[in-house]
Amino acid sequence: MRRTLYHVWAVACVSLLFASCTSSKKVAYLQTLTDELPPAAAGYEARIMPKDLLTITVVCSDPIAAQPFNLVVPNSESSVARGTTYSQPVLQNYLVNNNGEIDFPVVGVLKIGGMSTQEVTNMIVDKLSPYLKERPIVTIRLINYRVSVIGEVTRPGTFTINNEQVSLFEALAMAGDMTIYGRRDNVRIIRNENGVERIITLNANDKNIIFSPDFYLKQNDVVYVEPNRAKRQSADIGTSTNLIISITSILISIAGLMVNILR
């Protein structure tokens, strides 16, 4: 009986070990990374898409001359103590329409869909040359550059990107990295392109992922980390199964205690 009990314990321990362990081959990023890598791709630039929100500021040495080209909305505030009313201009956002266009003051409609912020800057500078005596400073910011990370990560959520560039690894880092249960070989990116949802699959174990055209995320991308088989199997275990395991453990403990008493 004692030998049988030891066999039961051994089988239980081995089963638990196999159920809880995850192969290191499925955990490491950029496997078999060497110094011999393909040439790096050109630097990534975010492209403006429909429904994007932009801020565009035009500045020159003469503020009065630049004023017509800044889209502002007066925000009137009254000062009771002074008995005066003053206006504080608030910068208004540009919403890119479904045709990739914005209506720029004085100049008119500009088609900017698919362009980078630098390309739009150069376009506006050229468009303003007939109206200004000097070359203005045009600053454009894409203010709705956000990505979401969900699934098997430590801190899922939506993150705002200030520099208009974020790689898959950077997004995962902002979410606290994948958990040990995340599938690194099947990371999915859900992307909306021209109103159509597209699903992209990347293998974070592959060293060549850094050269993929989808390695850098676009605005409003959703990164989904799928749970691995061990996590799915553990999720399938119901309350009744947990109860059975608990009862079995108690019975084994009682049997062990009885063996020690009767020995």
What is the mean pLDDT of the segment spanning 240-254? 70
pLDDT, tens digit (0-9, with 9 covering 90-100), for 97-144: 999 999 999 999 999 999 999 999 999 999 999 999 999 999 999 999
What is the mean pLDDT of the segment spanning 201-206? 94
- Cβ atoms of 183 and 228 within 8 Å: the answer is yes
H/E stretch holding 23: none
Instruction: Look up the CATH number of the domain holding residue 213.
Output: 3.10.560.10
Q: Which of 2-16, 157-171, 193-207, 225-239 has the lowest mean pLDDT?
A: 2-16
Q: Which of 35-44, 86-95, 218-227 has the lowest mean pLDDT?
A: 35-44
Query: Which has the higher per-residue pLDDT, 11 or 58?
Result: 58
Same domain as 152, residue 32: yes
Strand pairing category for 222-227 and 146-151: parallel
Residue matched to tokens 């900017």: 112
Cα→Cα distances 37→26, 104, 121, 260, Å: 22, 45, 35, 63
What residue type is assigned to position 201 of the chain?
T
Point out the domain boundary residue: 142, 168, 201: 142
> Helix or strand or coil: residue 232?
helix
Nearest to 56 by CA among 146, 118, 149, 148: 118
Same domain as 171, residue 118: no
Same domain as 153, residue 137: no
Point out the domain boundary residue: 142, 167, 199: 142
What residue type is assigned to position 176 of the chain?
G
Say whether pLDDT at 233 is over 60: yes
What is the model's pTM? 0.69
Tokens, residue 91: 């910068």
- Mean pLDDT, the chain, whole residue set: 81
What is the mean pLDDT of the segment spanning 146-156? 96
- Cβ atoms of 149 and 220 within 8 Å: the answer is no
- Cβ atoms of 100 and 195 within 8 Å: the answer is no
Domain tally, the chain: 3
- pLDDT value for 235: 59
Same domain as 152, residue 34: yes
Same domain as 68, residue 117: yes
- pLDDT value for 195: 78
Point out the domain boundary residue: 142, 173, 197: 142
What is the mean pLDDT of the segment spanning 175-192? 94
Same domain as 62, residue 137: yes
Between CA 172 and CA 166 the distance in angstroms is: 10
What is the mean pLDDT of the segment spanning 83-89? 50
- pLDDT value for 232: 62
Provide the domain limits for residue 118. Answer: 53-142
- pLDDT value for 39: 53
Nearest to 70 by CA among 156, 140, 173: 140
Same domain as 153, residue 132: no
- Cβ atoms of 99 and 50 within 8 Å: the answer is yes
Q: At what angle do helices 229-236 and 2-20 cross, to 10 degrees?
A: 120
Same domain as 57, residue 132: yes
- pLDDT value for 196: 86
* Residue 251 binned pLDDT confidence (cut-offs 50, 70, 90): confident
Same domain as 68, residue 196: no
Same domain as 202, residue 78: no
Same domain as 137, residue 62: yes
Instruction: Look up the CATH number of the domain holding residue 59.
Output: 3.30.1950.10
pLDDT, tens digit (0-9, with 9 covering 90-100), for 14-60: 444 444 444 555 667 767 655 555 554 456 788 999 999 999 999 99
Same domain as 254, residue 138: no
